[in-house]
Structure 1
Amino acid sequence: MKFSTLSPALLGLVLSVQAYSVEYTTETGYFLQDERSTDASTFDYTAVNFGLINRTYPADSHLKKHRNYTQWERFYHQVQKLNEDSPKSVEYKVLFLGRHGEGYHNAAETFYGTPAWNCYWAELDGNSTATWKDATLTSAGIAQALKANTFWQKEITEQRIHTPDNYFVSPLTRTLQTANYTFTGLNLPDGSADFKPLIKELFREGISIHTCDHRRSKSHITNLFPDWPIENGFSEEDELWNGVTAETSSAQDVRSSTALSQVFFTSASSKKEAFVSVTSHSGEISSILRVVGHRAFSLSTGAVIPVLVRAERKGRGQKPVASSSIAWTASAHCTAPPVTSVSACVCPSSAVPVTTPLVTDL
């Protein structure tokens, strides 16, 4: 059963019994972002080698003595050694979790303020100057993605970093654009995997009643990036967004766990494909971090966090299937601009909150 073939009521969630389960843990001590002392609000991944800590590894003793290895080369060798020495039921992967650059919905939330945005403006398709339904990148968002591109090339050239073996991307337009600006045109090392990200429904943003979470059709996505593969079972229209019900955090974590189970233990060579890029969203990345046991770490638009994850498969089944039932929730909103929203949203007395889709003429 695939989420992408289910309605929100079913996705929220009537799920089958697992054939096997996967237990995820974060291997700490490798990245500054793992440490409580690192302040997420001021952290710049481009200033500190993606956050990779300058340290020695147990696997260093197996390296050739006559060569000068960079920190990223030694770390890659450490991950390889962890996979080589682990049983078949255990895999280690480095997830490069990248948040999309600034979208028009981000700019609109800043303009209107978060309370007013959440209770009214986010339920519209846009205003007289901008559209934020399945928002595209602003010029600032494009610049943030290009900054990531420049930094990746710097790491490739100077650190000889191992580039991702697999790329995944959310189907929302802002993430598709971000992945394209970030990875297109890089001078990849010989033998590297080509940048052709798999578009996956389950790596999308938390599904709320906001129109920025309403993805475009499969045909539209194909027209934007015709060379990029789309996962099997991806529906033509968005069957998960209805403008009425929203995922709870628990429901999103179930979805994120299912998405990760489709990244780990995928083939006989899965252990060798240890570096994975996921271009997604702030809410979805927060959910992934919860699932893998990483501390909360909020990303600014366009930022990237690498995480070393240990996955252990439990059970003898052949396929992972989510095994929980988590209800979604209805979200109330104003039917006219709020009277005030300094710290909370107050609807006009003539526009009491409703839980039906908001339809209005702009």
Structure 2
Amino acid sequence: MSTTIEREISSVKGYFLQDDPATDPETFDYVHSSFGLINQPYSTESTASQEVTQWKRFKQHIDLLNSQSDTKRFKVLFLGRHGQGVHNVAESHYGTECWDAYWSLQNGDAENTWVDARLTQEGIDQARVAHEAWKKQIQDGIPSPQSYYVSPLNRCLATARVTFEGLPIPRVDPFQPMIKELLRETMGQHTCDRRSTATEIAEEYPSYHFEDGFTDEDLLWDPKVRESNEDRNKRLRSLLDDIFATDESTYISLTAHSGAITSVLEVLGHRKFALATGAMIPVVVMVERQPGFLKRKM
């Protein structure tokens, strides 16, 4: 017999520039804005705490909030989009309409293949920019992710490795993220969103861990049916429920896709905020246990 508890999850506004409707996603620079962290005092801090860096003050604030409640937990999700992939270049070349109608259904063209699309050199460079940005924020006291999750698609696996491997933060040497099947891009039809086998992934990324139940073949990608935005939202809500039910970490990194991040933000009630390839934003999340929804499973 096991017990499950329903949880309400929502974003908490006021900590980052991306929370503010006045911040334009098109011009937002995560690198030179400390990932959007707002320089401000917090209601929980003393005068002495204001003498340390903003990131250290932020961590003290989040930690104190978590110490004050038995039913609410505050978590910080670092949502990173993969760097530019060969499929992104192809879509720009052919145009979105032609891409969706024809080219996205093909394995590639005369120049490239985009089944389980890989990073371009520009995409690798974008991940290196993220690596250097993290290095700078670490010097300023950013709370390090305690858990790392990554989509099984190659462009995310590669982006996460270039971004985090070798950074002076815990649990990164060697870099050992958890591969989560539900963290992937909108599923179906587009060949760029069909993943490689687990055997192939393990050969290329031997330090990565697969979640329990991860199948060798891709059983979720359907060549005939494209996942709806509503179904994608449900999938990403299930992913968050799984993570919040099984992972006690406060600071969590998710390396994913534009569609997946769009759904995460939507189910959290965060404003729409499109990320450029290779970009990252943090989001504060409140996870609240609902006492009226205690259920027992036999």
Amino acid at match of 2:273: F
Q: CA 1:208/1:276 → structure 2, altered by over 3 Å: closer, same or farther?
A: same
Quote the residue 2:25 is aligned against. Answer: 40
Residue 260 in structure 1 maps to residue 240 in structure 2: yes
- The DSSP-based 3-state class of the residue aligned with 2:57 is helix
Q: CA 1:66/1:202 → structure 2, altered by over 3 Å: closer, same or farther?
A: closer
Assess if the C-alpha contact under 8 Å between 1:91 and 1:264 holds in 2. no
Assess if the C-alpha contact under 8 Å between 1:169 and 1:197 holds in 2. yes
Tell me the CA shift for residue 208 of structure 1. Answer: 3.0
Assess if the C-alpha contact under 8 Å between 1:162 and 1:275 holds in 2. yes
Quote the residue 1:308 is aligned against. Answer: 284
Question: Which one has the bigger strand percentage?
Answer: 2
Quote the residue 1:183 is aligned against. Answer: 164
Assess if the C-alpha contact under 8 Å between 1:170 and 1:176 holds in 2. yes
Structure 2 CA distance for aligned equivalents of residues 316 and 80 of structure 1 = 26
Structure 2 CA distance for aligned equivalents of residues 139 and 220 of structure 1 = 22
Structure 2 CA distance for aligned equivalents of residues 311 and 318 of structure 1 = 20
Structure 2 CA distance for aligned equivalents of residues 279 and 57 of structure 1 = 29
Greater Cα radius of gyration, structure 1 or 2: 1
Quote the residue 2:101 is aligned against. Answer: 119
Tell me the CA shift for residue 161 of structure 1. Answer: 1.2
Structure 1 CA distance for aligned equivalents of residues 11 and 168 of structure 2 = 30
Give the counterpart of 1:70 among 19, 39, 53: 53
Structure 1 CA distance for aligned equivalents of residues 151 and 112 of structure 2 = 22
- Describe the superposition over 1:222-274 as per-residue Cα deviations: whole angstroms up to 9, x where unpaired: 1111111100001110001121112111111111111001221325xx1xx21
Question: Unaligned regions of 5+ residues in structure 2, if any?
Answer: none
Map of 1:330-345 to 2, 5 A cutoff? none
- Describe the superposition over 1:265-292 as per-residue Cα deviations: whole angstroms up to 9, x where unpaired: 325xx1xx21110000000000000011
Map of 1:161-176 to 2, 5 A cutoff? 161-176=142-157
Quote the residue 1:239 is aligned against. Answer: 219
Paired residue total: 291
Quote the residue 1:279 is aligned against. Answer: 255
Assess if the C-alpha contact under 8 Å between 2:41 and 2:50 holds in 1. no
Quote the residue 1:7 is aligned against. Answer: none
The CA RMSD over aligned residues, in Å, is 1.6
Tell me the CA shift for residue 113 of structure 1. Answer: 0.4
Residue 147 in structure 1 maps to residue 129 in structure 2: yes
Tell me the CA shift for residue 312 of structure 1. Answer: 1.4
Structure 2 CA distance for aligned equivalents of residues 162 and 19 of structure 1 = 29
Tell me the CA shift for residue 79 of structure 1. Answer: 0.8
Tell me the CA shift for residue 19 of structure 1. Answer: 4.5
Structure 2 CA distance for aligned equivalents of residues 300 and 310 of structure 1 = 26
Assess if the C-alpha contact under 8 Å between 1:94 and 1:306 holds in 2. yes
- The DSSP-based 3-state class of the residue aligned with 1:250 is helix
Structure 1 CA distance for aligned equivalents of residues 97 and 11 of structure 2 = 34
Amino acid at match of 1:184: E
Quote the residue 2:7 is aligned against. Answer: 22
Amino acid at match of 1:316: L
Quote the residue 1:58 is aligned against. Answer: 43
Q: CA 1:72/1:318 → structure 2, altered by over 3 Å: closer, same or farther?
A: farther
- Describe the superposition over 1:117-142 as per-residue Cα deviations: whole angstroms up to 9, x where unpaired: 00000000101110111100000000
Assess if the C-alpha contact under 8 Å between 1:165 and 1:193 holds in 2. yes
- The DSSP-based 3-state class of the residue aligned with 1:265 is helix
Identical columns (%):
44
Tell me the CA shift for residue 67 of structure 1. Answer: 8.3
Residue 95 in structure 1 maps to residue 77 in structure 2: yes
Give the counterpart of 1:230 among 204, 210, 225: 210
Structure 2 CA distance for aligned equivalents of residues 285 and 93 of structure 1 = 16
Structure 1 CA distance for aligned equivalents of residues 38 and 135 of structure 2 = 20
Tell me the CA shift for residue 316 of structure 1. Answer: 1.9
Quote the residue 1:209 is aligned against. Answer: 189
Question: Unaligned regions of 5+ residues in structure 1, if any?
Answer: 1-17, 320-362
Structure 2 CA distance for aligned equivalents of residues 69 and 262 of structure 1 = 35
TM-score normalised by length of structure 2 = 0.94
Assess if the C-alpha contact under 8 Å between 1:91 and 1:265 holds in 2. no
